[in-house]
Structure 1
Amino acid sequence: MQIKPEDYSYSINNVARIFAKHVKYNSFYTRKNGIEFTNEKLPSVIDYDAFSAPISVQSGWFWDVLIFPSNEYVIKFGGINKTLSESLRLNLNRHIKNYTKIILKQIEPAINQATIDAHKLNLLTNKYYIRHDQANKWISTYQWLAIHLKNLNLLKKLTDNSQNNLELIKPFLEKGYQRVKALNQNFVSNQLSNYEVFFNQIEINPLTENQRKACVIDEKYNLVLAGAGTGKTSTMVGRAGYLLKSELAKPDEILMLAYANKAAQEMDERIREKLGIQNLTVKTFHSLGLEIIGQVEGKKPSIHEMATDERVRTKFIDNQFQHLLQNKDYQALLIHYFANLIYPYKSQYEFKSLGEYTAYILENDIRTLQGELVKSYEECEIANFLYRQGVEYQYEAKYKIDTRTPDYKQYQPDFYLTDYDIYIEHFAVDQQNKTPPFINQTIYLQGMTWKRALHQQHQTKLIETYSYYKQQERLSEALDEKLTAAGVKYKPLPANQLLANLNSQGQFSEFSKLMSSILALFKSACLTLQELSAKFSVSENKARAEATIQLFEPIYNAYQTELKNTNSIDFDDMIARAIEYIETGRYQSPFLYILVDEFQDISASRARLLKALMAQQANASLFCVGDDWQAIYRFTGSDVSLTKDFSEHFGYTATSILDKTFRFNNKIGEVASRFISENPSQIQKVIESHAKIDNSAVSLIKTNDNEIGLEAALKAISEKISKPSSVLLLGRFSFNAPTNLSTLKKTYANLKIAFMTAHGSKGKEADYVIVLNLIKGKHGFPSEKATNPLLALLLPKTEDYKHAEERRLFYVALTRARHHVYLITDANKPSPFVVELIDKGYPIVADEFKGNSFQDKMASNCPSCKSGFLTARDGYSSFFGCSNFPVCKYTEKACKWCGSGLITKGELRHCANTHCNYKEPICPACGGAMIFRKNGNFWGCTHYKKDDVFSCGYTTKLIDLGTKPKL
């Protein structure tokens, strides 16, 4: 409260400061809201509102004392000149009195207006839920009145009506929003009691306590986190029913939104059946958009067949692509794209570990124009140069001289030019001969020396290229110079032949899919081509981004032209045009209550649609039901952050959690909830299962034959059930479907067997679930296929936690089952999820299935790349190789006695099988194995080769193994 008073101040002199009484303070002065007293330490203030009586004078011999009485304490200010004390008293008291009059004129109407506004907001009746935004507006408007509540003298001067009004609003002034929260809690409690019968009967089973509270709480923004099987649809029906029953809304003021037609139909049927309401609006987002367009434009536009049939859309894009291939400029750009830009280039020097680098190569599936999977982007560039110039080559062909030993496999140079008998080695070194961080520099340089010496010894031609050529952006140029110098002649491949080869490899089909995905995400995000270009401009590879836009633009233009020529729209147009009409006011929303199902699947454009609808009604309320643990559609544009950070996107939010599941038992819940909660960014919640059992309900089947594992699981289920049961077979991809599914259905007639993808199973349930093909890799579970970097720019931001969305998909798969889940994995290449379940001691059964068809232990991790697994191989001798071959070429010898792996301990290699005592000494000269030469009665290295310059001739007479060697 601002008042412009006269200024009154007083400072005592030095003599008074020494001899006068009550000189704690040196001076005082009036300010806006009170009198401040100062000294060398902290000042003291008495607000004008706090004076309990008028200021008085206490007379002294030489100096007077002014007495300032407040509600909390009294200040005696001594050292006042006796000739001035009375005038100071009179002026200060008059000043305070004037202040009080002014304040009284301000607070009395404010108190009365605050009471009127409080009645309007139902703050004083507790008949309705008080929304935060309304309460907060009232509190922020009238909170200043609270500072005057202690001024009893002032309050006594209020009229009786104002005093009564003040008593009504006083709790809100004193406690602020805490008072509102207490009233809301009381309101919810009363509503639960008043509508107990309704909530008991609205569904087959009575709603839970948390479901009922979620239905009654009536914030502007409401988020209901509904765990798997916790009854989200029942809560939606209960909410709609409560709004109608309590007369908070009429049927035509409620909008219920679902994602799929089937879900909307099911919800509409439940509303009609349970509530007997025929005219409540239940729609999908798309059908709502279509209705809005129809109302604004006077007629509903046609939906193009491309919107409803994916095959038609794909065929259209394919046809446009084939048509564009007749254009020479488009041809040239496309060839440039496939030869130089299709893969996201990253220098090997950007990776800290071999595991990171291996993941990059395998996830991006880097292949040459001839289709070979290569170990580096730089090798891909070399291969593509050779291919385009018509130079015949073989990738990693075996060297013409046999170089195998018991410990090392055959040497395979990177490239062999068959017509010229020339080898090419591409070395990962910079100009200082430094290797990438994950490569052992000493060993790598020794290998380079060995290869050069080998070629020199056998007089074979070798061309060398280096990573620093790529760093200098002249790899192809340097290769060209060296090939020319070696006499290699070029026969450049004609464009039509190159394009035909790409088409035969399925590259055009994949490119069409990319264009289709970009089109879908581009339109879903309501972007323009200029905005798309701006998004792509932040790409690490700007040349790749620019080429993609140039290749995409004519396809997009043709697509839009087709829609225009047929006077039709697609699903993305339904949302985009509806948003435009709502935001510009051409459409006026009648909906006060908007209820959204499966909110975790919301995209930015749909969220924008909801915000636009909400902005049109001051008292509108948004009620969203979803589960961030089940957000699995990022690839379509869904943004889980809109659920996890709901209040940041919408505003103050009342969050309810449905934490009791009626689907899966507690043992499935223990595994599923713990697994999903490993990601700290998921909203933490505890889901309680209605069904309780004692034994583990998740079993692991280890076999390298998926069909054997499936048969074993079905047999186990069939033998344990007493009545027909449903079994859901789940795969990460549609091609995981068993080829013998029809036979299995006949064999197990007591089981209702169905296959679905994990994505397709969302919202489904079965008595038993069998998750197939839980292996590591691009087509494993989790899928380790990299998202195209340009698509990633159109998708919501990725989460920091590894495999975050795939973890949620696995959670969905686990929680489809009521009684038991069977997980089928190959122990030689197990899914990281399976490895986690075992390594972290989850309560699963890992040894239920035994015998020749099943694996008894998990493969060991590759010690080199740390992401692959060591699996048994056969070649010149038995050995273990990394499953990430050819990117990771780590190998280990196998035990000669039992075939298990070997572990290095000091100077010996021991068999990893604890039941086998095999040991072999390590050659200290070259790292090979030492074997006992019985004819010479000595130990010699296995790398010994007579008359070979690379032979190791190390020998020794005595080695103590502790056990006798097996000869």
Structure 2
Amino acid sequence: MPRFTIEPDKLSYQTGRWARLFASNNDYHSFSVEDGKIEFFGANHIHHIEILSIAGGVIVESGWFWDQLSITLEDAQSFHFGGVRKTVSKQLQTRLNTQIRDTIQRFYQQFEPAIKQAAQEANLLFFGNRYIRRATAHQWLTAHQWLTVGLKRKDSYRHLTSESLPNYHLILPLLERGHSQIDYLNQTFVNQQVGEWKSFFDKVETNPLTDNQRRACVIDEQHNLVLAGAGTGKTSTMIGRAGYLINAGLAQPNQILMLAYARKAAEEMDERIKEKLGIDNLTVKTFHSLGKHIITQVEGIVPSIDKMAEDPELRTRFVDEQIQRLLQDERYKSRLVTYFLRFSYPYKSQYDFKSLGEYNAYILENDIRTLQGELVKSYEECEIANFLYRQGIAYQYEANYQVNTSGPDYKVYQPDFYLPEYGIYIEHFAVNEQNQTPPFIEQQRYLEGMAWKRSLHEKYKTPLIETYSYLKHQGRLTDVLSEKLLAADVKFNPIPANELLTNLKGLGRVSEFAKLMADVLSLFKSAHMGIKNMVELAKVHEDHERMLAAAYLFEPIYEAYQLHLRDEASIDFEDMIGRAIEYVESGRYRSTYRYLLVDEFQDISASRARLLKALMAQNRETSLFCVGDDWQSIYRFSGSDVSLTKEFSNHFGATAMSILDKTFRFNNKIGEVASRFVSQNPSQLKKNINSHRQVEHNAISLIKTNQEILGIHAALTNISAKLTEPASVLLLARFHFKRPQMAALKRQYPQLKIEFLSVHASKGKEADYVVVFGLEKGKHGFPSEKATHPLLEMLLPKNEPYEHAEERRLFYVALTRARHHVYLITNGNNPSPFVRELIDKRYPILLDEFKGEGFQDHVANIPCPKCKTGYMIPRDSRHGSFFGCNQYPLCTHTQHACQWCGGGLQNKGQFRVCENHRCDYVEPICPECGGTLSLRKGPYGEFWGCSNYRKGAEFSCSHKEKFIDLQAAKRKGSQ
């Protein structure tokens, strides 16, 4: 018999025996309802249905003998329970639906107080006349996210009371869509505010603000980053932001702090605030003056700024004086002499380089010179030269051998070292213990050269001492050399340390070291670390011996400097920031500012960023508004860290980013080149800068000459010819020492307002025309290939992996100073890699505008096949014209000119092809020795033989080939 049981909180039913046997959908024979779920029991299994998952209740489906109960779930699946006696099916349906309704209502009744609370908070936070900050939204969403368990269920609103329904409809979109709904509300608010304050934004500056500027002013996230491209009106945006905050009632003037980097920039900002907004109690400071203000507030007295803080030369002089004082101490003197002898330059094994060009770059970047001032070809040669010098052994570097060896097989022999008092030669061979050469040296040829040199000395009975690279790796180079010199009866007469230091002073090496220590002092203090920290970092550095040597020499200099500051009761600029950070983080200084506006944020350093974070931490309502451009971050050498801009949200938190993409300075043709160039670095933030000035013709000209002053005059003459009214011209160079004679130029071009600046100093400037010169490859080229001492690197922000990343941004800055036209002056025989890139990647620039006497008709574009990084350029000798590598003397590769037109020959596969497209000269390359294969006649017919074949000579190449398809080579060369 079926059983039907009803209790206050429990309902159950069990089918009869015949229904279990013959009814349809009879997998389950009973069910019970309790604890918010229905459990169905079968012979071997149980099925659960949560009452909250039921949609639409229970319905009865009639059959011939029994009825069945059908339940539809929220996921649209159905469940059927058969074998229900017809006399009780309707009663069961009623009881089940009542229990389902009561369960659901009880479930939602528990939400109603929370829904009401959430709605009240949402009304205050999200539906007032304000921008919703992400932190505020996140806090609300986190607190009320649990409500989605019920409120996201289908038709949940039907189970709420009429009082709760408005609250439900208010919060449901927020809970369902989260931050995307917040973004929608914010967008609506920003649109409304831009419209409401249209008149203000139209008039706050001389020209109406752009739409993007207005939106940047209105958006009020806790952390705001405005990426302002060159000439897009960042200062106007700063002023608009301050004015909006005050006029909209979001802040009082004394609650706003505007920060600039330079004193002049802060003064100009303050003047514009007073002029445009009519406000005189808004604080505008530099970071240093802010630090000074904080220190004054805490200590009760205005700190005295040390004279050295504002005079880098005075600080360098102080460091130099301390070095002279410390040299009275024998231990310090010994350490300094050891540093000059062993650690003046970073040691890298030649075996670490893949190409001769990479190795030459290492030599040139570090300007590896001996204690006598000679530029040598390896660190190991420098160590040998310095050892000889230190021991008082006179030597000559790469002097011609006493016998003239020049001929078709070898050039003039120049042994590495010659000791004239003893007639002894020293050769240092770049081989390891297995007689293997570095990867970039042609091993077989090098070993043959070694054998030739040995045989030459044997032939002419000239004493030869040999050393090898592997001795340096073993740490025995000078020990073995010393043994061999003593065995050859060479007298050692060590130069006293005082005399050595006197000579080093004469070469300027001590003053260079003082400059290095002064730079280290500044960065060390900016890093706010102790000597112990520096030593620990030095110990784990790859060049730890050199780093530790420099750190130990720096320590007493730093201590003397700090003692000076204490004795004078003064501070420096680094103390202004460091002590201010300490006072803010400890709570001794309490900030009253609610809005921090930072100009030129791309120049931010870690210490300044830390100060900003400390100020914000004191009040979670404080908002940070930063305007900058990662494309113009060019001050890493002084501690600026571009990653603080590029990875802003990682450092500061949830960020609203705005982009000012309309420039009112340079035209579209300058912008096209500049933007494309700087964007080659994929880590730069993507921006599409649109120019207000639109022109049809290319606006960047390349002037090719090895006479810079000729190029400058050509540019100024070209500019003058275009003028109908006076114009301004900026002459820019990578280094300030390249400044030309400005007085003469100004007299010769009176209609031009000419100013010279280094590119760094030109940041923030603009002119009608810009002339950039010094665009050459090298240590003082552009990009600069000058190496940074690793002790400085250790204290600087992490270097970027992309080659010349900051120098590329510096070039972008140079290009974007001009309104109308840019002139780039390069030496075609030693072009800047940047010029090379502009040409090779076909940037839209004018290449052949300047021709005639003094101008070059080409830019070196034939890669040197030997060093891989240099370019072959035309040269002349008494034997005629030829092409040589522009990295000479470090790379001595030469090759003959085209036999037909005199042009350069470029290696393309197994052929040399003339670079002159109007000439189709091609010559085959000997695969054995790199010589030229020429068509010759022999007793058995024509064949191709090597030009380096010398019958009976010590070096000869006898390679031959029967057939070479020159026509195929010509077709390939023309592609």
Question: TM-score with structure 2 length normalisation?
Answer: 0.89
Distance 1:35 1:384 in 2: 94
8 Å CA contact 1:406–1:942 kept in 2: the answer is: no
Residues 769-791 of structure 1 deviation map (CA, whole Å, 9 limit, x = unaligned)? 00011000010000011121221
Deviates more, 1:775-784 or 1:27-36: 27-36
**CA drift at 1:327:** 1.2
Residue of structure 1 in register with 2:972 after alignment: none
Distance 1:30 1:433 in 2: 90
**CA drift at 1:90:** 11
- Any residues of structure 2 matched to 1:762-777 within 5 Å, and which? 762-777=763-778
| Other structure's SS at 1:727 match | strand
| Other structure's SS at 1:764 match | coil
Deviates more, 1:273-282 or 1:880-889: 880-889
Residue 754 of structure 2 aligns with an amino acid whose one-letter code is I
Gaps of at least 5 residues in structure 1 are 1-5, 963-967
Distance 1:599 1:311 in 2: 27
Residues 418-447 of structure 1 deviation map (CA, whole Å, 9 limit, x = unaligned)? 222122111111111121122222222222
Distance 2:588 2:191 in 1: 41
8 Å CA contact 1:67–1:74 kept in 2: the answer is: no
| Other structure's SS at 2:426 match | strand
| Other structure's SS at 2:863 match | coil
Residue of structure 2 in register with 1:868 after alignment: 870
Residues 609-666 of structure 1 deviation map (CA, whole Å, 9 limit, x = unaligned)? 1111111112111110000000000111101111111111111111111111100111
Q: Using a 3 Å threshold, how does the CA distance of structure 1 residues 21 and 354 change in structure 2: closer, same or farther?
A: farther
Q: Using a 3 Å threshold, how does the CA distance of structure 1 residues 908 and 363 change in structure 2: closer, same or farther?
A: closer
Distance 1:34 1:697 in 2: 78
- Any residues of structure 2 matched to 1:920-935 within 5 Å, and which? none
Residue of structure 1 in register with 2:527 after alignment: 525
Residue of structure 1 in register with 2:896 after alignment: 893
1:281 correspondence with 2:312: no
1:75 correspondence with 2:78: yes
| Other structure's SS at 1:761 match | coil
Distance 1:451 1:344 in 2: 30
Residue of structure 2 in register with 1:338 after alignment: 340
**CA drift at 1:78:** 3.8
| Other structure's SS at 1:638 match | coil
**CA drift at 1:143:** 2.1
Deviates more, 1:91-100 or 1:10-19: 10-19
**CA drift at 1:362:** 1.2
Residue of structure 2 in register with 1:216 after alignment: 218
Distance 1:408 1:913 in 2: 30
Residues 472-492 of structure 1 deviation map (CA, whole Å, 9 limit, x = unaligned)? 221112212222222222111
How many aligned residue pairs are there?
Answer: 947
8 Å CA contact 2:373–2:507 kept in 1: the answer is: yes
Residue of structure 1 in register with 2:834 after alignment: 833
Residues 209-266 of structure 1 deviation map (CA, whole Å, 9 limit, x = unaligned)? 1000100111111110000000000000000000011011100111100000000011
8 Å CA contact 2:603–2:633 kept in 1: the answer is: yes
1:728 correspondence with 2:725: no
1:117 correspondence with 2:121: yes
| Other structure's SS at 1:161 match | coil
Q: Using a 3 Å threshold, how does the CA distance of structure 1 residues 135 and 502 change in structure 2: closer, same or farther?
A: same
Distance 1:402 1:766 in 2: 59
**CA drift at 1:405:** 2.3
8 Å CA contact 1:24–1:77 kept in 2: the answer is: no
| Other structure's SS at 1:403 match | coil
Deviates more, 1:308-317 or 1:555-564: 308-317
| Other structure's SS at 2:110 match | helix
8 Å CA contact 1:307–1:570 kept in 2: the answer is: yes
- Any residues of structure 2 matched to 1:60-71 within 5 Å, and which? 67-71=70-74
Q: Using a 3 Å threshold, how does the CA distance of structure 1 residues 714 and 98 change in structure 2: closer, same or farther?
A: same
Residue of structure 2 in register with 1:351 after alignment: 353
Residues 718-751 of structure 1 deviation map (CA, whole Å, 9 limit, x = unaligned)? 111111110000000001111x221110010000
Residue of structure 1 in register with 2:823 after alignment: 822
Deviates more, 1:778-787 or 1:916-925: 916-925
- Any residues of structure 2 matched to 1:326-725 within 5 Å, and which? 326-406=328-408, 408-725=410-727
Q: Using a 3 Å threshold, how does the CA distance of structure 1 residues 131 and 894 change in structure 2: closer, same or farther?
A: same
Residues 506-545 of structure 1 deviation map (CA, whole Å, 9 limit, x = unaligned)? 1111111111111111111111222222332331011112
Residue 753 of structure 2 aligns with an amino acid whose one-letter code is K
Residue of structure 1 in register with 2:232 after alignment: 230
8 Å CA contact 2:702–2:826 kept in 1: the answer is: yes
Residues 28-48 of structure 1 deviation map (CA, whole Å, 9 limit, x = unaligned)? 999998679999xx9998554
Distance 1:467 1:7 in 2: 93
Deviates more, 1:533-542 or 1:776-785: 533-542
Residues 841-899 of structure 1 deviation map (CA, whole Å, 9 limit, x = unaligned)? 11111101101210001123212112112233445634332222232221223467865
8 Å CA contact 2:774–2:781 kept in 1: the answer is: yes
Residue of structure 1 in register with 2:745 after alignment: 744
Distance 2:927 2:55 in 1: 97
**CA drift at 1:714:** 0.6
Residues 92-117 of structure 1 deviation map (CA, whole Å, 9 limit, x = unaligned)? 98996786576445312211111121
Q: Using a 3 Å threshold, how does the CA distance of structure 1 residues 26 and 165 change in structure 2: closer, same or farther?
A: same
Residues 769-820 of structure 1 deviation map (CA, whole Å, 9 limit, x = unaligned)? 0001100001000001112122111111111111110000000000000010
Q: Using a 3 Å threshold, how does the CA distance of structure 1 residues 801 and 918 change in structure 2: closer, same or farther?
A: closer
**CA drift at 1:402:** 1.2
Residue of structure 2 in register with 1:22 after alignment: 25
Q: Using a 3 Å threshold, how does the CA distance of structure 1 residues 927 and 97 change in structure 2: closer, same or farther?
A: closer
Q: Using a 3 Å threshold, how does the CA distance of structure 1 residues 247 and 458 change in structure 2: closer, same or farther?
A: same
8 Å CA contact 1:407–1:929 kept in 2: the answer is: no
**CA drift at 1:77:** 4.6
Gaps of at least 5 residues in structure 2 are 1-8, 937-941, 967-975
Residue of structure 2 in register with 1:761 after alignment: 762
Q: Using a 3 Å threshold, how does the CA distance of structure 1 residues 47 and 915 change in structure 2: closer, same or farther?
A: same
Residue 730 of structure 2 aligns with an amino acid whose one-letter code is L
1:883 correspondence with 2:865: no
Q: Using a 3 Å threshold, how does the CA distance of structure 1 residues 897 and 171 change in structure 2: closer, same or farther?
A: closer
Distance 2:350 2:11 in 1: 77
Q: Using a 3 Å threshold, how does the CA distance of structure 1 residues 837 and 7 change in structure 2: closer, same or farther?
A: farther
8 Å CA contact 2:109–2:160 kept in 1: the answer is: no
Residue of structure 2 in register with 1:785 after alignment: 786
Residue 950 of structure 1 aligns with an amino acid whose one-letter code is E
8 Å CA contact 1:923–1:954 kept in 2: the answer is: no
Distance 1:422 1:288 in 2: 67
8 Å CA contact 1:286–1:575 kept in 2: the answer is: yes
Distance 1:538 1:26 in 2: 76
Residue 173 of structure 2 aligns with an amino acid whose one-letter code is P
**CA drift at 1:396:** 1.3
8 Å CA contact 1:34–1:45 kept in 2: the answer is: yes
| Other structure's SS at 2:873 match | strand
Residue 789 of structure 1 aligns with an amino acid whose one-letter code is P
8 Å CA contact 1:224–1:623 kept in 2: the answer is: yes
% same residue: 59
8 Å CA contact 1:20–1:78 kept in 2: the answer is: no
Deviates more, 1:918-927 or 1:246-255: 918-927
Question: TM-score with structure 1 length normalisation?
Answer: 0.90
**CA drift at 1:356:** 1.8
1:309 correspondence with 2:311: yes
8 Å CA contact 1:825–1:831 kept in 2: the answer is: yes
Deviates more, 1:48-57 or 1:827-836: 48-57
Distance 2:117 2:101 in 1: 24
| Other structure's SS at 1:772 match | strand
Residue 805 of structure 1 aligns with an amino acid whose one-letter code is E
- Any residues of structure 2 matched to 1:184-263 within 5 Å, and which? 184-263=186-265
Distance 2:387 2:193 in 1: 75
Residue of structure 2 in register with 1:965 after alignment: none
